[in-house]
């Protein structure tokens, strides 16, 4: 279990170093997640220990939002000053996410029907 947690945190560290070194506009943990995904794709499966550690982290995910909530409360005045662009960004990104998810699901459903031998509609 410790080796699996070390792997996850090492991927996050490498992602953080990678984004800072190259000045990428992507959070380090996101880059680390891509690195972890690539390693797991190369491996061909998710090792049991990595899956167990990931499940444990996901079960306690709410605890990881506490620092973000504290940050929001600490800078509440800034949120009040910039409420319009923040609201537009939140609503726009939510709508874009819903639209992209719908498109992906629609295409996957068509591909699934084609793979089953049914004629795709559309």
pLDDT by residue (tens digit) across 61-108? 888 788 888 888 888 888 889 999 999 999 999 999 999 999 999 999
Non-local CB neighbours of 64 within 8 Å, separated by 6+ positions: 57
- Answer yes or no: do 119 and 83 share one domain: yes
- Whether 114 shows a pLDDT value over 90: the answer reads no
- Answer yes or no: do 6 and 43 share one domain: yes
Single residue among 41, 64, 87 that ends a domain in this structure:
64
Single residue among 64, 84, 111 that ends a domain in this structure:
64
- Answer yes or no: do 56 and 3 share one domain: yes
- Answer yes or no: do 38 and 10 share one domain: yes
Range of the structural domain that residue 105 is part of: 76-122
Instruction: Specify the pLDDT at position 65.
Output: 83
| Contact between 19 and 28 (Cβ < 8 Å) | yes
Q: Count CB atoms within 10 A of the CB of residue 36.
A: 20
The Cα–Cα gap between 75 and 79 comes to: 7
Q: 99 in a domain, yes or no?
A: yes
> What's the domain count of the chain?
2
Q: 31 in a domain, yes or no?
A: yes
Element (H, E) at 119: none
- Answer yes or no: do 11 and 49 share one domain: yes
| Contact between 9 and 16 (Cβ < 8 Å) | no
Non-local CB neighbours of 21 within 8 Å, separated by 6+ positions: none
Which DSSP category does 45 fall into?
S
| Contact between 8 and 50 (Cβ < 8 Å) | yes
- Answer yes or no: do 59 and 80 share one domain: no
Q: How confident is the model at residue 56 (pLDDT cuts 50, 70, 90)?
A: very high
Instruction: Specify the pLDDT at position 49.
Output: 94
pTM score: 0.58
């Amino acid at each position: 279990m410790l080796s699996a947690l070390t792997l996850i945190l090492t991927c996050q560290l490498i992602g953080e170093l990678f984004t800072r070194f190259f000045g990428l506009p992507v959070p380090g943990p996101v880059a680390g997640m891509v690195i972890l995904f690539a390693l797991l794709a190369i491996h061909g499966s998710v090792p049991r220990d990595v899956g167990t550690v990931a499940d444990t982290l996901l079960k306690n995910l709410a605890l990881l939002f506490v620092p973000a909530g504290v940050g929001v409360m600490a800078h509440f005045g800034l949120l009040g000053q910039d409420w319009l662009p923040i609201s537009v960004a939140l609503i726009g990104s939510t709508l874009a996410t819903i639209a992209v998810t719908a498109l992906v699901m629609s295409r996957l459903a068509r591909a699934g029907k084609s793979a089953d031998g049914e004629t795709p509609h559309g």
